[in-house]
């Protein structure tokens, strides 16, 4: 069994001690306490180390009691995936443990657990680990748990895992789908658009060249682009997520930039051509990320849906097996200050994951 051996070896032990008041031994753990413990570890993308250390320690304890193995997969300095498995991993339950900013800690009431990552996706992690315990109690093996970094930005952890397959034939990816099996998910096409100009005193604009005006003109043309529509996934959508630039109100701006994200319903080739043509010659268009839309598997007996967001599934590229997508919580509160997950859905997800693993192992 391989434990994490990074620069903070002692930190794993200190972290485990700090959560010992929240979590007892893995065999006695409570899914709600585990969800809150994970939420309370800040793991905004790029800063996942503490959560990774906690997961590695927790899964190592479970594996040591049940005859499993655990390893870490380095992604970047102080960033790593965590993989635990029992027997030959034919089915792998996987999700990410990074979150979007800003961090805020957990709280709970009778119905919900609240906090950053509650539904996206730390409650899902807790459901998967609890499902694994239940499967092991039934004597079922030949499955694994894979928790990765970086999904919220560029799927860095999934791309690394894709290069290190472990023979899994089926991948159950966890994202908030309200516990419905997703038949498809949209992709993502992200750009950085940069305009350059010339500074001048704002009283004499004819002496300068406004980068902001160039950028705004390009963005207006981009907004008017007709984007593809798919019968299953619906319309492509475009979001101008950030705009920055300029020096001061009385200075003609010499630089400006924007970030644009398109939710794809196909592989994105035609959309890319249309965006670059609309942007025009006065700006630079750099493609930062391109993930195609995907069609996903269905299983008998599971309610289905379609989701508009992007997941790690395309980054895995099939190397961890045929993908399925399901998880507790709704995406409508993810990435908001109202993020929460229903306790009833966490418990329901445990049964769904156990049922899927057993069905897939029998195929």
Using CB atoms within 10 Å of the CB of residue 337, give its burial: 0 to 12 exposed, 13 to 18 middle, 19+ buried: exposed
pLDDT for res 88: 97
Instruction: Outline where DSSP puts E strands in 180-331.
Output: 181-185, 187-196, 229-230, 234-235, 237-245, 255-264, 283-291, 294-295, 304-307, 322-325
Domain end marker among 291, 314, 338 = 291
113: number of Cβ within 10 Å: 26
**In this structure, is residue 259 part of a structural domain?**
yes
Question: Considering only 221-225, 283-287, 296-300, 313-317, which range has the smallest mean pLDDT?
Answer: 296-300
CATH number at residue 122: 3.40.630.10
pLDDT for res 298: 87
**Do 70 and 206 share a structural domain?**
no
**Do 192 and 110 share a structural domain?**
no
**Do 298 and 287 share a structural domain?**
no
pLDDT for res 15: 54
In the block, tokens 């409508």 appear at 332
pLDDT for res 291: 87
Q: What percent of the chain has pLDDT over 90?
A: 89
Q: Which residue has the higher pLDDT, 24 or 113?
A: 113
What φ, ψ does residue 223 adopt, rounded to 5°?
-60, -25
Three-class SS state of 221: helix
- Structural domain including 274 reads 187-291
pLDDT in tens, 118-174: 999 999 999 999 999 999 999 999 999 999 999 998 899 999 999 999 999 999 999
What φ, ψ does residue 94 adopt, rounded to 5°?
-145, 145
**In this structure, is residue 217 part of a structural domain?**
yes
Positive or negative CA dihedral for 167, 162, 311, 106? positive
Which one of 48, 151, 178, 345 is the catalytic residue?
151
Using CB atoms within 10 Å of the CB of residue 201, give its burial: 0 to 12 exposed, 13 to 18 middle, 19+ buried: exposed
- Whether the full predicted model's pTM is greater than 0.85, yes or no, is no
**In this structure, is residue 1 part of a structural domain?**
no
Least Cα distance to 321 among 174, 157, 130, 169 occurs for 169
The pLDDT confidence band at residue 297, using thresholds 50, 70 and 90, is: confident
CATH number at residue 216: 3.30.70.360
**Do 324 and 209 share a structural domain?**
no
**Do 211 and 192 share a structural domain?**
yes
Using CB atoms within 10 Å of the CB of residue 248, give its burial: 0 to 12 exposed, 13 to 18 middle, 19+ buried: exposed
Least Cα distance to 224 among 157, 161, 279, 170 occurs for 279
**Do 59 and 130 share a structural domain?**
yes
pLDDT in tens, 247-273: 999 999 999 999 999 999 999 999 999
**Do 228 and 218 share a structural domain?**
yes
Three-class SS state of 272: helix
Domain end marker among 271, 291, 311 = 291
pLDDT for res 17: 45
**Do 25 and 167 share a structural domain?**
yes
pLDDT for res 2: 38
Least Cα distance to 122 among 102, 145, 144, 95 occurs for 95
**Do 193 and 170 share a structural domain?**
no
pLDDT for res 29: 58
How many residues are given for the chain? 363
Least Cα distance to 284 among 193, 191, 215 occurs for 193
**Do 298 and 193 share a structural domain?**
no
Question: Considering only 7-21, 64-78, 100-114, which range has the smallest mean pLDDT?
Answer: 7-21
**Do 310 and 178 share a structural domain?**
yes
- 138 an active-site residue? no
What φ, ψ does residue 161 adopt, rounded to 5°?
-60, -35
Q: Which residues contact 360 (CB under 8 A, 6 or more apart)?
A: 90, 91, 169, 170, 172, 299
**Do 199 and 176 share a structural domain?**
no
**In this structure, is residue 116 part of a structural domain?**
yes
Number of domains in the chain: 2
pLDDT in tens, 72-116: 999 999 999 999 999 999 999 999 999 999 999 999 999 999 999
**In this structure, is residue 13 part of a structural domain?**
yes
What ranges in 155-310 are assigned the alpha helix state H?
156-162, 211-223, 269-279
Residue range 326-347: mean pLDDT, rounded? 98
Token pair in block for residue 292:
């195609």
Token pair in block for residue 126:
């807790």
Domain end marker among 291, 311, 335 = 291
């Amino acid at each position: 069994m391989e434990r994490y051996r990074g620069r903070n070896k002692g930190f794993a032990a200190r972290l485990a001690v700090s959560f010992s008041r929240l979590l007892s031994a893995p065999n006695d753990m409570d899914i709600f306490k585990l969800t809150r413990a994970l939420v309370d570890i800040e793991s905004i993308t790029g800063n996942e180390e503490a959560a990774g250390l906690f997961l590695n320690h927790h899964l190592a304890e479970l594996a040591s009691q049940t005859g499993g193995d655990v390893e870490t997969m380095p992604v970047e300095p102080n960033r790593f995936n965590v993989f635990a498995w029992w027997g030959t991993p034919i089915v792998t339950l996987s999700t990410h443990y990074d979150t979007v900013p800003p961090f805020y800690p957990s709280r709970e009431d009778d119905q919900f657990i609240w906090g950053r990552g509650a539904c996206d996706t730390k409650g899902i992690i807790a459901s998967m680990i609890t499902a694994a315990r239940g499967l092991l109690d039934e004597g079922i093996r030949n499955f694994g748990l894979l928790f990765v970094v970086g999904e919220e930005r560029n799927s860095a952890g999934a791309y690394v895992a894709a290069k290190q397959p472990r023979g899994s034939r089926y991948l159950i990816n966890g994202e908030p789908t309200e516990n419905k099996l997703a038949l498809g998910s949209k992709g993502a096409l992200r750009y950085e658009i940069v305009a350059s100009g010339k500074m001048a005193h704002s009283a004499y604009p004819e002496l300068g060249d406004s980068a902001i005006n160039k950028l705004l003109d390009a963005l207006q043309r981009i907004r008017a682009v007709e984007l593809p529509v798919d019968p299953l996934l619906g319309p492509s959508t475009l979001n101008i997520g950030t705009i920055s630039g300029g020096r001061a109100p009385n200075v003609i701006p010499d630089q400006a930039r924007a970030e644009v994200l398109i939710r794809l319903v196909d592989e994105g080739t035609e959309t890319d051509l249309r965006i670059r043509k609309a942007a025009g010659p006065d700006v630079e268009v750099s493609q930062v990320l391109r993930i195609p839309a995907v069609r996903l598997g269905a299983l008998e007996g599971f309610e289905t849906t379609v989701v508009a967001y992007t997941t790690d599934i395309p980054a895995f590229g099939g190397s961890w097996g045929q993908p399925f997508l399901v998880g507790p919580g709704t995406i409508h509160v993810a990435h908001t200050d109202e993020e929460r997950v229903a306790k009833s859905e966490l418990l329901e997800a445990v049964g769904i994951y156990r049922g899927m693993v057993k069905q897939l192992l029998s195929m």
